[in-house]
């Protein structure tokens, strides 16, 4: 297996390095890419920190979650969610370094203390180790970048940079779009964003020209809804946005809600991330792999 | 009977030691309104929406017992592991036209809004679970491994051709449009575990240990927690599907159970369940 050869190479390098003998050409065997085999995940992260354009924060979720940061990498996968399936697809693509926007171990900060005895955790961890994967999370600083890397990607896919209303704040984006029926707008979003589990509140025939991206929380919804025809949210608890918007409609306001899967709101930002990485990581391939909408709707 | 007397009577009948304070968020009890107000009629519902409150007022009933409170927040003072937003700040709700309308409607109609969640769920028979299982039409299934509904989950052996079939049956039984499913639609499934409300990773772990189901049915899940956890279970071959029916659809039948239970010890005023209804539609249901 390719990965095993890498490990052997790395172990041997350590032995040789410690004995004062370094044979750099060994690394050339690790990959066909010139220069690959020398570059490590930690070096890539160092470059990211140099290029991201915002001071590095502490504490941050942006850290190594699994694997050896100092092992040579074969290629980079950027992804929204490092699901088990996504990791398998990264291995198939020959990329052993996964840069994920969202957690790997199912909590906001990848807390593993309570998962030690969980058989799924053990299985996923074993897969990561067996395949010499390195997983690093890139969330806080990709959002902190100006413009926000996630929404830069979203705007690009929607073609909506031109419709952005100036003065929007992070997670409170406003758009002035050509007037569109709510149902048609939702269809356009599903197609462009490659998701299929949008849920809606409001009249399908409502004409929408002012749209607000209210992110995740009720306070963001209350900030935006009075100014716009419709808000969209993703990964928002169901007792927040949906109840608020249906009450707004009940009191006579012409409003609507588009509730997306989390991927619909943010996944395209990791495609943007791959394009950005390619401008300063040239030694190994960099590829965005979609983890995709987790859901389907019953017929 | 006053609001205060109603709470007293619920506390006397609930059958478990009353917990009056959650570590975070809103406690059970009178949420809005005066304890000395006379109760003219009681509505149980998933959420005190504008539509539910109007229907209560039209019927001449002033007391609403709800799972989700009127102002779109569970009141967490700080987000719990980022799952829940903190309550919106007062300066925001004060100027919000929807909140203002509701606030005025509540005070003009002298409504009593009562939260009854944690102590109801703590009863020896979980009414939320029993209501959901009955709504699914599964309470007669002989393989029910939790017939007394002593916890928040139960498991059943169902006869369906596939996960897609099961999901369609569930959507029909609950009369919902926006169920969401994880898993291969063609998977053959038999053992199904049911729970209500928001399902966390620790809940899924417990349900898997206890029932070893092919499928879990729940209300909703956090999309960076139990959702990818379940995707990974499917990839790892450890489970076949997750059906999320929506928080409202999973909790509403239990609020009907609550009305039935309240009627066993409240006879002087009407007690009725009013469904808040599923908030969503989808492009598939349009």
Average pLDDT of chain A to the nearest whole number = 88
- Chain A environment of B88 (Cβ under 8 Å): 218-219, 222
Nearest to B122 by CA among B30, B205, B11: B11
A2-145+268-288 and A160-265, same CATH topology: yes
pLDDT bin (cut points 50, 70, 90) of residue B59 is very high
Task: List the single residue in B with minimal CA-CA distance to A123.
Answer: B236
Give the chain A residue whose CA is nearest to the CA of B85: A217
pLDDT at A18: 39
The CA distance from B100 to B106, in Å, is 10
CATH superfamily of A160-265: NIF3 (NGG1p interacting factor 3)-like (3.40.1390.30)
Q: Which of A41, A22, A36, A29 is nearest to A2 (CA)?
A: A29
How do residues B105-162 score in pLDDT, each as one tens digit? 999 999 999 999 999 999 999 999 999 999 999 988 865 666 678 889 999 999 998 9
> CA–CA distance from B7 to each of B22, B251, B264 (Å)?
17, 21, 15
Average pLDDT, rounded, for chain B: 93
Question: Domain locations in chain A?
Answer: 2-145+268-288, 160-265
Strand partners, A109: none
Q: Which domains does chain B have, with CATH numbers?
A: 3-122+251-273 (3.40.1390.30), 127-245 (3.40.1390.30)
For residue B3, count other CB atoms closer than 10 A to its CB.
21
Q: Which two tokens stand for residue B286?
A: 């349009």
Distances (CA, A) of B114 to A114, A123, B42, B55, B175: 35, 45, 10, 17, 27
Q: What is the ipTM of this complex?
A: 0.96
Pairing of strands A134-137, A97-100: parallel
* pTM assigned to the model: 0.92
pLDDT at A11: 35
Interface contact B228-A250, CB threshold 8 A: no
Q: What is the per-residue pLDDT for B24?
A: 64
Bridge-based pairing state of the strands A230-234 and A97-100: unpaired
B120 token code pair:
């109801």
Place of tokens 């009681």: B42
- Fold designation for A2-145+268-288: 3.40.1390
Distance CA A78, CA A267 (A): 10
Contacts of B281 in chain A (CB under 8 A): 199-201, 204
Name, in order, each residue with C-beta under 8 angstroms of A137's C-beta and a sequence gap of 6 or more: A61, A62, A63, A65, A99, A100, A101, A102, A103, A104, A110
CB atoms B223 and A235 under 8 Å: yes
């Amino acid at each position: 297996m390719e990965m095993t050869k890498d490990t052997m190479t790395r172990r041997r390098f350590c032995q040789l390095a410690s004995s004062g003998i370094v044979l750099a050409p060994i690394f050339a065997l690790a990959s066909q890419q010139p220069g690959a085999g020398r570059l490590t995940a930690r070096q890539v992260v160092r470059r990211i920190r140099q290029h991201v354009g915002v001071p590095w924060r502490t504490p941050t979720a942006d850290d190594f979650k699994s694997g050896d940061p100092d092992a040579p990498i074969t290629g980079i996968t950027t992804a929204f969610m490092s699901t088990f399936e996504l990791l398998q697809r990264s291995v198939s693509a020959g990329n052993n370094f996964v840069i994920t926007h969202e957690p790997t171990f199912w909590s906001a900060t990848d807390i593993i203390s309570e998962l030690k005895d969980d058989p799924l955790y053990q299985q996923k961890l074993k897969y990561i180790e067996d395949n010499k994967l390195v997983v690093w999370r890139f969330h806080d600083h990709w959002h902190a970048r100006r413009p926000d890397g996630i929404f830069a990607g979203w705007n690009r896919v929607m073609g909506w940079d031109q419709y952005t209303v100036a003065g929007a704040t992070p997670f409170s984006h406003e758009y002035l779009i050509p007037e569109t029926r709510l149902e048609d707008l939702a269809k356009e979003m599903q197609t462009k964003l490659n998701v299929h589990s949008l849920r809606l509140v409001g009249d399908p025939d409502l004409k929408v020209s002012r749209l607000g991206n209210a992110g995740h929380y009720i306070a963001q919804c209350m900030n935006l809804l009075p100014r716009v025809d419709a808000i969209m949210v993703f990964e928002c608890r169901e007792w927040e946005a949906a109840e608020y918007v249906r009450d707004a409609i009940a009191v006579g306001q012409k409003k609507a809600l588009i509730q997306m899967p989390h991927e619909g709101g943010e996944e395209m930002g990791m495609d943007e991330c791959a394009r950005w990485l390619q401008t300063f990581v040239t030694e190994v391939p960099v590829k965005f792999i979609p983890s995709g909408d987790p859901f389907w709707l019953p017929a | 009977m006053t609001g205060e007397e109603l709470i007293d009577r619920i506390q006397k009948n609930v059958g478990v030691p009353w917990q009056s304070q959650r570590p975070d968020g809103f406690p059970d009890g009178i949420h809005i309104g005066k304890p000395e107000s006379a109760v003219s009629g009681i509505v149980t519902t998933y959420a005190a929406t504008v539509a539910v409150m109007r229907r209560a007022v039209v019927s001449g009933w002033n007391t609403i017992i709800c799972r989700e409170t009127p102002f779109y927040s569970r009141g967490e003072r700080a987000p719990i592991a980022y799952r829940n937003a903190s309550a919106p700040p007062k300066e925001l709700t004060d100027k919000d036209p929807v909140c203002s309308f509701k606030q005025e409607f509540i005070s003009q109609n002298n409504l009593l809004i009562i939260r009854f969640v944690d102590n109801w769920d703590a009863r020896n028979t979980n009414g939320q679970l029993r209501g959901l299982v009955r709504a699914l039409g599964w309470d007669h299934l002989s393989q029910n491994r939790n017939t007394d509904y002593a916890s928040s989950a139960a498991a059943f052996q169902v006869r369906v051709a596939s996960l897609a079939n099961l999901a369609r049956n569930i959507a029909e039984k609950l009369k919902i449009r926006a169920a969401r499913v994880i898993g291969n639609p063609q998977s053959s499934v038999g053992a199904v575990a049911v729970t209500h409300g928001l399902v966390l990773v620790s809940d899924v772990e417990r349900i898997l240990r206890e029932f070893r189901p092919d499928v879990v049915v729940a209300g909703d899940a956090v999309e960076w927690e139990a959702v990818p956890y379940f995707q990974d279970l499917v990839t790892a071959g450890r489970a076949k599907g997750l059906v999320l029916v929506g928080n409202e659809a999973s909790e509403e039948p239990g609020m009907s159970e609550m009305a039935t239970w309240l009627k066993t010890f409240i006879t002087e005023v009407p007690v009725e369940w009013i469904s808040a209804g599923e908030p969503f539609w989808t492009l598939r249901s349009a």
